[in-house]
């Protein structure tokens, strides 16, 4: 691909063009001035001429020959007879024998209606102006060349910081964590150096997040393969029994029930793994300002439809504004309610939102179920860890998802004793001021 002109060359060209425009304008003005000034000088010369008729000069008003210069009469010479003339314009340009002249009619004293035509040739003036114009043109060419040369030299010093910055950037290579280029000497180069530094910082941060995501994905793949191996093996065994053995109707129904339960467990595990992966890839741009009270109210109404036999209520004193991911906060509440019903056997759930004195927002989910032993209240937030009373179809990822969302929102989550008999899940989030 054809490379563009360097900044140094562009500055030199622009300097030469700018000088050319200025010099051409000045040259044109000088040429006009020389022409006008020369003509004015000739006119002033013609205006300064006066006529005095010496003794012995006779004027013949009827003569038709061209006017001749006045000469004084001498005793040995006859008197000069001046031809008559008719006054024209005061000063005018005429052609005499193919030569352009400036002409002025001068009145003869004491001779009414008599004039002498005084002429001055314009050729010397034209030649002088032409010579001066040539001199100006030559000087203009040298001035334009000098402007271009000076532009090239000065631009070389001006763009030197940019050249150093380009060389330093090339040396960074593929490692964005290498030493940042630092160039001084021009504000633009310094600003560009800082911008490149910020860009490299962002690239390094994105690379770090990518590496962390890849590491997390590898861990997911390893753990998921381990966790899914058991239910998939069980499903294969059930299918082999169904296809190879003679079974009674009761035995077949039992195996099918076990097979369906295992299939649901695999499906739940895969869905929770997907949610975990989505959470790992979330960024700050996914967060938005929202009313936690309104969001929880909608979640509770949806839970009432999902669990029609559950007594669930919601209380909140006032709107609580936070900055977060709406789907992530819904996931926290849905998992908390589902765990209370599925693993705790709860009949009643109380959801509340409040604001602490330090400005943090708190979401609590209380149930009257079997609760969680105090020794397990920390470990159950780890992936694929099930409590002692967990149902068999659980994936072991429900509370891990809750812990992940708490971390993504810059908050904390814990399990404590509930005042209504079971366990309380308490999520604390930084509050977004209005």
Q: What is the pLDDT of residue 174?
A: 59
- Residue 412 confidence class, pLDDT cut points 50, 70, 90: very high
Cβ atoms within 10 Å, residue 261: 15
Give mean pLDDT, residues 304-322: 88
pTM higher than 0.75? no
Q: What percent of the chain is predicted at pLDDT more than 90? A: 11
Question: Thinking of the domain 178-281, which architecture would CATH place it in?
Answer: Orthogonal Bundle (1.10)
Instruction: Look at residue 76 and tell me whether its pLDDT is greater than 50.
Output: no
- Residue 86 confidence class, pLDDT cut points 50, 70, 90: very low
Give mean pLDDT, residues 55-82: 45
When the pLDDT of each residue in the chain is averaged and rounded to a whole number, the result is: 76
Low-confidence winner among 77-86, 102-111, 115-124 (lowest mean pLDDT): 77-86
Give mean pLDDT, residues 270-298: 80
SS3 at position 408? helix
SS3 at position 350? strand
Cβ pair 161, 26 in contact under 8 A: no
Low-confidence winner among 75-84, 116-125, 161-170, 343-352 (lowest mean pLDDT): 75-84
User: Measured between alpha carbons, how far is 372 from 356 in angstroms, rounded to an integer?
Assistant: 25
Distance of alpha carbon 190 from its chain centroid, rounded? Answer: 18
Give mean pLDDT, residues 67-87: 40
The two tokens of residue 223 are 């753990």
| CATH code reported for the domain at 283-429 | 3.30.565.10
Residue whose token pair is 């669930």: 312
Give mean pLDDT, residues 330-357: 89
Across the strands, what pairs with 354?
Answer: 362
Q: How far apart are the first and last CA of the chain?
A: 54
Contacts 24+ apart (CB under 8 A), 163-168: 164/189, 165/189, 165/192, 165/193, 165/196
pLDDT tens, residue by residue, 35-68: 777 777 777 776 666 556 566 555 555 444 444 4
SS3 at position 248? coil
Q: Phi, psi at residue 361, to the nearest 5°?
A: -95, 140
The two tokens of residue 349 are 């759930």
- Residue 77 confidence class, pLDDT cut points 50, 70, 90: very low
pLDDT tens, residue by residue, 195-207: 777 777 787 777 7
Low-confidence winner among 35-39, 216-220, 391-395, 424-428 (lowest mean pLDDT): 391-395
Domain boundaries, the chain: 7-153, 178-281, 283-429
Q: What is the pLDDT of residue 64?
A: 40
Distance of alpha carbon 123 from its chain centroid, rounded? Answer: 65
Helix 160-172 × helix 123-158 angle, to 10°: 30
pLDDT tens, residue by residue, 347-370: 999 999 998 888 889 999 999 988
């Amino acid at each position: 691909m054809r490379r563009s002109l360097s900044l140094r060359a562009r500055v030199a060209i622009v300097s030469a063009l700018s000088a050319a425009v200025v010099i051409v304008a000045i040259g044109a003005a000088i040429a006009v001035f020389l022409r006008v000034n020369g003509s004015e000088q000739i006119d002033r010369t013609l205006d300064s001429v006066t006529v005095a008729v010496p003794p012995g000069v006779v004027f013949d008003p009827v003569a038709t020959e061209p006017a001749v210069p006045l000469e004084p009469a001498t005793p040995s010479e006859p008197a000069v007879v001046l031809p008559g003339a008719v006054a024209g314009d005061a000063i005018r340009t005429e052609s005499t024998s193919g030569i352009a002249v400036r002409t002025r009619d001068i009145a003869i004293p004491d001779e009414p209606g008599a004039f002498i035509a005084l002429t001055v040739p314009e050729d010397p003036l034209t030649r002088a102006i032409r010579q001066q114009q040539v001199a100006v043109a030559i000087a203009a060419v040298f001035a334009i060349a000098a402007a271009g040369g000076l532009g090239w030299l000065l631009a070389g010093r001006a763009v030197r910081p940019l050249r150093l910055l380009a060389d330093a950037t090339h040396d960074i290579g593929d490692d964005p964590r290498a030493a940042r280029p630092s160039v001084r000497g021009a504000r633009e180069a310094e600003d560009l150096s800082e911008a490149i530094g910020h860009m490299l910082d962002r690239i390094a941060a994105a690379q770090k997040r990518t590496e962390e995501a890849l590491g997390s994905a590898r861990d997911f793949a390893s753990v998921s393969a381990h966790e899914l191996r058991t239910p998939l093996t069980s499903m294969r065994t059930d299918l082999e029994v169904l296809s190879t053995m003679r079974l009674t109707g009761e035995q077949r129904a039992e195996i099918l029930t076990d097979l369906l339960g295992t299939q649901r467990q695999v499906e739940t595990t895969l869905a929770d793994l997907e949610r975990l992966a989505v959470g790992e890839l979330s960024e700050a741009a996914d967060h938005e300002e929202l009313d936690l009270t309104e969001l929880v109210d909608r979640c509770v109404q949806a839970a009432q439809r999902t669990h029609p036999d559950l007594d669930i209520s919601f209380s909140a004193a006032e709107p609580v504004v936070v900055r977060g991911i709406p789907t992530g906060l819904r996931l926290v509440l849905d998992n908390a309610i589902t765990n209370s019903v599925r693993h705790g056997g709860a009949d009643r759930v109380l959801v509340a939102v409040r604001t602490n004195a330090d400005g943090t927002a708190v979401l609590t989910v209380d149930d009257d179920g079997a609760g969680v032993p105090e020794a397990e209240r920390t470990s159950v937030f780890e992936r694929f860890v099930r409590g002692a009373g967990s149902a068999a179809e659980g994936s072991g990822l429900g509370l891990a998802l809750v812990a992940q969302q708490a971390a993504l929102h810059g908050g904390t989550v814990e399990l404590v004793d509930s005042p209504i008999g079971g366990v309380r899940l308490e999520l604390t989030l930084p509050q977004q001021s209005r």
